[in-house]
């Protein structure tokens, strides 16, 4: 690194699971760009934000649990992110102010549109955090009928109301049918790979998508596959939102093939990936 090196990063708690540094740094090497993307374990958001000038950070990704709390620290954000109420991408402007946007929205659509017709479909979003909000807004705007179920009833009702959907209690999952179920919670994420947010009996649907990309096939997806249900890993969404971030920060097209290969190779090292 030199004074000219562009610094980007990802903030979260936990952060060890993230393959964003691998994906973005592979891209910088492929493009011969003098830049680096670093992981930041952030417990206190204010402490990190105060250190941005010292690190010379140009932009950063936002993951659990800061996607919603980051909003109050932004000077401005795009209209979609403001409506969603969650941000996963922040640009540090020349004057030091922060501008936010949401590329999770794009990621969800790119991952699902090739697998099913969204308009008129019944889709359950399990969870009500930042990723769930992006997914719910993306699905609702695509014409899907959105249902929300979450551990916190109030959060589920708030999100359902925001997208014109319906909040349903957990007990209803054993009797209602959906075209697709989308998990947006971190349950089952590396290294807690033996956990599933839902039981096999609650998977009454034609397709299950897990926003978790590590492991490639989560316990939830394994349960679905054993029942003969189609599955979608969070891998494609992860790539799509990352490619969109690259374009926002660099104003150039990312080397998608190189970045995809690097992430897939890392996942193969941990788990047999088709």
**Catalytic one of 32, 46, 67, 219:** 67
Sheet holding 166-167, edge to edge: 166-167, 145-149, 122-126, 178-183, 205-210, 230-232
Q: How many residues does the chain have?
A: 274
Residue of 224, 158, 155 whose CA lies nearest to 188: 224
Cβ atoms of residues 206 and 180 within 8 Å: yes
How far apart, in whole angstroms, are the C-alpha atoms of residue 55 and residue 176? Answer: 50
Sign of CA dihedral 6, 89, 107, 216: positive
3-state class (DSSP) for residue 208: strand
CA nearest neighbour of 63 among 104, 33, 25, 98:
104
Specify whether 32 is catalytic.
Answer: no
| Strand pairing category for 57-62 and 89-92 | antiparallel
Calpha distance 134→184 (Å, rounded) = 10
> 118 — phi, psi (to 5°)?
-80, -40
Which residue numbers are catalytic?
67
């Amino acid at each position: 690194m030199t004074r000219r090196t562009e610094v980007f990063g990802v903030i979260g708690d936990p952060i060890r699971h993230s393959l964003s540094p691998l994906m973005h740094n592979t891209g910088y090497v492929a493009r011969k760009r003098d830049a680096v993307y670093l992981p930041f374990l952030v417990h206190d958001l204010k402490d990190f934000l105060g250190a941005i000038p010292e690190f010379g950070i140009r932009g950063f990704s936002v993951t659990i649990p800061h996607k919603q709390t980051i909003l109050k620290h932004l000077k401005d954000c795009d209209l979609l992110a403001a409506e969603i109420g969650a941000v996963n991408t922040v640009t540090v402007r020349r004057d030091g102010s922060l501008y936010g946007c949401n590329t999770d929205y794009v990621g969800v659509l790119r991952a699902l549109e090739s697998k099913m017709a969204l308009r008129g479909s019944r889709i359950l979003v399990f969870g009500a955090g930042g990723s769930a909000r992006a997914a719910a807004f993306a699905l609702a705007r695509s014409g899907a009928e959105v249902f929300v179920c979450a551990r916190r009833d109030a959060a589920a009702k708030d999100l359902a109301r925001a997208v014109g959907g319906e909040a349903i209690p957990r007990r209803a999952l054993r009797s209602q049918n959906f075209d697709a179920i989308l998990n947006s919670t971190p349950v089952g994420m590396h290294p807690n790979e033996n956990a599933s947010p839902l039981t096999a009996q609650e998977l009454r649907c034609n397709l299950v998508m897990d926003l978790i990309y590590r492991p490639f096939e989560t316990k939830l997806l394994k349960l679905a596959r054993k029942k003969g249900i189609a599955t979608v890993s969070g891998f494609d969404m992860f790539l799509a939102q990352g490619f969109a971030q690259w374009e926002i920060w660099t104003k150039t097209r990312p080397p998608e093939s190189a970045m995809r290969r690097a992430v897939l190779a890392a996942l193969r090292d941990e788990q047999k990936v088709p």
